[in-house]
Amino acid sequence: TWRILRAGEGEGGAKVAKAKTLMLVEPMSADRSKLAELLEAKGVGITEPKIRCSVDALHVLEYYALVYSREEFRRKLDELKAKFPAQVEEALSMVKIMARVLPDRDVEKGLCVRVVEYLEPRLSKLTSYMGGDVGGP
């Protein structure tokens, strides 16, 4: 499921000064179907995402990291970057920060950590075996 926080609904005052409705929708589960449901509920979708802001891009990247292999994730990331460059770049910055600062019990931390892992270059077997850089000084 997901958590929705709302503020500012039904407040009085002049039309110009009325508080706007704020809605935060965030994942509460690392389950693929729940994250897909969240994206559909937000109107983003999963097959042809309609990214309106960096948070939409963030949630799509989290979904992609759950569903696809590292290689397919990178291909999908490149497609998103081509269509929504600013939002995806902001989302990538957010992912790196959230992977470090969110509490371990936060579902979104785990999702962000997975995205960060998929962003890192994959070490070759030889590099891993040698314990690091195989190039000489």
**Backbone conformation region of residue 133, classed left if phi is above 0, alpha if psi is from -120 to 50, else beta:** beta
- Compute the C-alpha angle 74/121/119, nearest 5°: 45
| pLDDT tens-digit map of 55-85 | 999 999 999 999 999 999 999 999 999 999 9
| pLDDT tens-digit map of 95-124 | 999 999 999 999 889 999 999 999 988 765
Give the C-alpha separation, 60 to 49, whole Å. Answer: 8
Confidence check: pLDDT of 2 > 80: no
The whole-model pTM stands at 0.73
Q: Are 25 and 4 in contact (CB under 8 A)?
A: yes
Which residue has 């992912």 as its token pair?
Answer: 95
Q: Would you give the end-to-end CA distance of the chain in angstroms?
A: 52
Residue type present at position 131: G
Q: What local confidence, expressed as pLDDT, does residue 43 receive?
A: 87
